[in-house]
A and B are shown apart, each in its own frame.
Chain A
Amino acid sequence: MSNPMHINYGRALMSKKSKDMMDHDYDDFDLEMDEIELDGQPLRSAMALDIFLSFMSILAWVWLALMVVGMGIALYITMIGMIPGFEKLADIPDNVITIWTGVKVIGAIIAILVLQELRKISKTLLRGDPFVPRNASRLRRIWMTVAIGEAVRTALMFMVMLYVWKLDDLNFANSWFGDITGLNSGSKEIPLRWEVWSMVLILIVLAQVFRQGAAMREQEKLTV
């Protein structure tokens, strides 16, 4: 038929109207776009994505907990003293390890924030109508979160670098710490991660495209 999308009333609208009004007028009812429910089978891939994202956010929370514990240990070593079993950390400067665990905590928080937005987008996918303005602003929030987080990370890691560069006698060459932080390479660079920044660029463009697409979809909803 002419109408490809089968739209019916949301439950919220139904409750506003008493049953005996059903056959009469709908003059005074206000159409809320978000209350329109589209019935169509949600795609299997959308359901799989939703489950996967839920799983990932659980992982992110576990990761955050681990990193907070790690930062706590680092702070304890810095402020109070060595914990038995962590002697390996002794050859790393205190503030370096604290900042580094702080970077990890920030990374986990960003992952959680991004995953939250992604899950909300995924919910609209499940509903069968993802092209809504709210999703456009969610995409914008995602790239802003990633960009701010990456800027903070770069600044903190740069602080670590500066500190390490000043200490000539500090040798990370044989240390596990040098490996995982990338301080072993020895080259003096600002720790910019181009892959992250190009991802931010892609997200910016996608968010803009999505905003226009959502606006077009809004128009289409009012075409009968």
Chain B
Amino acid sequence: MAIRVNLDMILLEKKMSLTELAERVGITLANLSILKTGKARAMRFTTLEALCRELECQPADLLIYEPDEDEAE
């Protein structure tokens, strides 16, 4: 996937753990992990909205486009 969800950086900035975010956003940890590890194929607008609300950021801060071939991450 050339689209990456930049959760790590933002979580570090906000000093928030993944578990905490999961609780706040109301998404299960499993689903959040799917998002974070780049396994997700799609993301609902409601999820994006909840993430932006809790992390106080814009969608552009969360989503990163990396046009490289290796999908190591």
Residues in A lying within 8 Å of B, measured CB to CB: 1-3, 6-9, 22-27, 29, 31, 36, 219, 222-224
Contact = CB atoms under 8 A, between A and B. Distances in A.
Interface size class of B (residues with CB under 8 A): 20 to 34
Contacts of B35: 224
Contact of A223 (B19, B28, B36, B43): B43
A25 B18 contact: yes
Contact of B40 (A6, A25, A224): A224
Contact of B39 (A1, A8, A24, A222): A222
Interface of B: 17-19, 26-37, 39-44, 46-47, 50
Nearest to B31: A224
A221 to B, nearest CB: 8
A31 B19 contact: no
A8 to B, nearest CB: 6
Nearest to B73: A27
Nearest to A9: B30
Contact of A23 (B19, B34, B50): B19
B9 to A, nearest CB: 14
